[in-house]
Each structure stands twice: as C-alpha cells, then as structure tokens.
Amino acid sequence: MTLNKEIMYRDLECDMVIVGGGIVGTTLASALKDSGLKIIIIEANPLEVAAARKQAYAFSLLSSRIYQGIGIWDKIFPHVGKFKNIRLSDADYPQIVKFETKDLQTDYLGYVAQHNVVLTALQEYIADCPNTNWLCPGKVNNVVYQDNFATVSVEVAGKQQQIKTKLVIGADGAKSHIRSLANITTRGWKYWQSCVAFTIKHTAPQNDIAFERFWSTGPMGVLPLPGNRCQIVWTNPHARAKNLQKLDQTAFLKELQHYTGGLLGDLELVSDRVVFPVQLMQCDRYVQSRLALVGDAAHCCHPVGGQGLNLGIRDAATLAQLLIEAHQQGEDIGALSVLKRYENWRKQQNLAILGFTDFLDRFFSNNWLPVVIVRRLGLWIMANIKPMKMFALKLMTGLKGKAPKLADVANS
C-alpha cells in the first residue's frame, strides 16, 4: 500500500489545512473524505514514522461508533483488545464496582487499540481520496490570518511553501505551535504526578476486563490487549514514577504484582517503561476566525478513565459534521459564526470530563481518613444504586451527552 501522496507546489490553495497528522487530525480528514472539501494535512514526520508509536489507548463505545460511521471500524476491530467488564476498586478495599455488558445491552464496554493500528487504518482510508493530500515531513513556520483566508507558511524538504486556505485546524498536540502562533491562552495546571506506561503479558485465564485501581499514590489503569497482554498506565508522584522506570525488571514486576493484587497471574514485561508528566489544560477559546483547535491542542486531562484521546475523536467528528453542514448550505467554513457552533458544542462537554477526571484523581490519591470514608461510601452507592451506576458507566463509555451524527449512522 502506497501512502506517498505528499505534494510539492509553489502556490497552493485549499479549503482546509490540518496541522498534525496524528489520530485526531487524520480522523477529521477521514470524516470529511466525501465532503468535497479540498484538504491538505501537514505532518512533521514521515507517515510511517507518525504511525509507528507503540502506545495503546482506551477507545470508548462512542469512539468505536464514530469509526463505524466513518467506515473504518471493521478494519480496526480484529486487532484491538475488547473488554466486557470494568472493575473499579480503592486500593485493597473489598468493595468493587463491577460493570458488565448487560448493564448497557452491548457486546462490549470498550476497546483498547495500539496507535499504529488506528493511525495506519486512517491513513489508508484517505490514501485514495483525490481531495486530500499530505505535506510531510513539513514544518509550519507561520500563519497569517486575514478576513477571507489564512496563509500558512510551511517548510518541506528545505523549501518554503505558501498555502492559502479558508480554515486552519490545529491538531498538533498539547504543545501546539498553531495555538501559540494564534496567541490563544490556556488555563490549567501540572499535577504532582507522572504516569509510567508499559505493556505486560500475563497468565490470567480471562482477558476481557478493564481495571481502574485507585491508590493513594495515584490511579492505575489496566487495559486488555490481544494475546493475553495488557497496557498499563500507572500514576505516581514524579520521583516514584522515575524510580519505577529505573528499577530492574524483577523488582519492578514484584511491585506490579502487589499493585495489581495478583489479578493477572504471572507477569512479563514486554515493552519499555515510558514516563510522562500529567497536566490539565483547557484553552480559553477553541476557535477564532479561520482557526479551530481539536484534541490535545485544545484540552488535556488526567489519564484516569482513559478519556483523553476519546475527547479528541469527538472533537473531530463534531467539527466535521458542522463543517459539512455549513459547506452544504453555502456558508464560509472559516467564518467565526460557523466555528463557534463547534466551540459551543464541545468546550463545555470537554470541561465536564476534565473536571470529572481531576476530581477522581484528587479524591482517590490521598489517605486522609474523612475522604477515604466518603469515597468508599461512594463506591458502595455506585455499586448498589442503579441510576448512579448507569450515570457513571455512560460517562465512561461516552454515551452521556450530545453525540455527533457519525455515531448515529453506526446505529442506524
């Protein structure tokens, strides 16, 4: 399969420039494949390099339905981990909140997919689209916004290119250069924690359970992957996270056995341990005339509950829907009045999830007795009072709140 659709023109014009060819940016391009809009994706790395990351992510039911609506889920599905159960627990406290497929009457409660599986499928999906082209590896040096268009200055193979476009999309991650060039400010904070992310192989007979185990040092997410493997994201204070990364493998697996409570049987480390700091961030605005931010360029949250990438996928599906509707009605897709519809839809929904993940981390990452008593009462309530349990489950699976039409297409 050839993905080399990179283009080199001196004077380029298009409807939209997407800066960032990761999962969120490429999801947006895929959702717009049949829109008739001419799109250029600028990616800093060659396509194969962009897709080569080994990180795995939780994919909510809503994200899977969005990909069904786009038309690529059947290609992704055979290669993902699938979980039918979710277990929430507070350290060694015996009260465990159990969610099962019968609660939602679905086949699964969620999925776990590796970065390369999803991004390669997205790249292949738009590879034959005549209206979508790549500039990569490409580096954006500047963007000039004017009333009726924006001009993107990009360096490709040592040469400067100028792209005239109706709309610029910042999908270039938490350190977004596009956001900085637009002087869009952010609010939030860095946590006292970092995450240690890695993959293990285990001997447990069952591999269809996702665990969220809360400890006073921070939450631990355990997500099933194919082949009796699990992706683990283990939150700890910065210094302890670094120490866990440096521990020899035997000592590290002994620690891991304790913190997983022996639920996974014998453990084998099958990847490097990657450490990354955690932050909460929300942009003051997601849009301005000729510009929209999506994914981590617009917001970041604590990884507890595996919500981060799913928010970005919803951003992309929502923005695609609104741009298609505006284009079909003859509206200017870069006009602030059009882009505000996206911000009004997504900003508050994202803020609710950011607040929820922040609350979970702070509420469970301490040993103060009054808080311990309250949170364990909360677990009992969630386990035994059905409306509370359903509210939490729908929030985790993305089924709470307004969904983009692509997800409705999957269910029709």
The percent of residues in the chain predicted with pLDDT above 70, rounded, is 96
What's the mean pLDDT in 189-218? Answer: 95
* Three-state helix/strand/coil letters over the chain: CCCCCECCCCEEEEEEEEECCCHHHHHHHHHCCCCCCCEEEECCCCHHHHCCCCCEEEECHHHHHHHHHHCCHHHHHHHCEEECEEEEEECCCCCCEEEEHHHHCCCCCEEEEEHHHHHHHHHHHHCCCCCEEEECCEEEEEEEECCCCEEEEEEECCEEEEEEEEEEEECCCCCCHHHHHCCCCEEEEEEEEEEEEEEEEECCCCCCEEEEEEECCEEEEEEEECCCEEEEEEEEEHHHHHHHHHCCHHHHHHHHHHHCCCCCCCEEECCCCEEEEEEEEEECCCEECCEEECHHHCEECCCCCCCHHHHHHHHHHHHHHHHHHHHHCCCCCCCHHHHHHHHHHHHHHHHHHHHHHHHHHHHHCCCCHHHHHHHHHHHHHHHHCHHHHHHHHHHHHCCCCCCCHHHHHHHC
> pLDDT (tens digit, 9 = 90+) per residue, 82-116?
999 999 999 888 889 999 999 999 999 999 999 99
- pLDDT band at residue 12 under the 50/70/90 scheme: confident
Torsion angle, CA of 392/395/398/399, rounded to 10 degrees? 80
Q: Is the pLDDT of residue 313 over 60?
A: yes
What's the mean pLDDT in 185-208? Answer: 96
Could you tell me the fold of the domain covering 11-53+115-187+281-400?
FAD/NAD(P)-binding domain (3.50.50)
The percent of residues in the chain predicted with pLDDT above 90, rounded, is 89
Amino acid at 274: V
> pLDDT (tens digit, 9 = 90+) per residue, 219-236?
999 999 999 999 999 999
Q: Is the pLDDT of residue 130 over 90?
A: yes
Q: Please report the pLDDT score of residue 354 as a whole number.
A: 95
CA atoms within 13 A on the CB side of 163: 32
Q: Please report the pLDDT score of residue 411 as a whole number.
A: 59
Distance CA 256, CA 236 (A): 13
Distance CA 148, CA 217 (A): 51
Residue 65 near residue 59 (C-beta atoms within 8 A): no
Q: Is the pLDDT of residue 412 over 80?
A: no
Q: Please report the pLDDT score of residue 204 as a whole number.
A: 94
* Predicted TM-score (pTM) of this structure: 0.94
- When the candidates are 3.90.1170.50, 3.90.220.20, 3.30.9.10, 3.90.226.10, the CATH number that belongs to 190-278 is 3.30.9.10
Q: Please report the pLDDT score of residue 367 as a whole number.
A: 86
Nearest to 392 by CA among 103, 136, 73, 81: 103
Q: Is the pLDDT of residue 6 over 50?
A: no
Q: Is the pLDDT of residue 156 over 70?
A: yes
The overall average pLDDT reported for the chain is: 93
Domain boundaries along the sequence of the chain: 11-53+115-187+281-400, 190-278
Q: Which of 129-143, 191-205, 302-316, 363-377 has the lowest mean pLDDT?
A: 363-377
What's the mean pLDDT in 317-321? Answer: 98
Q: Is the pLDDT of residue 200 over 60?
A: yes
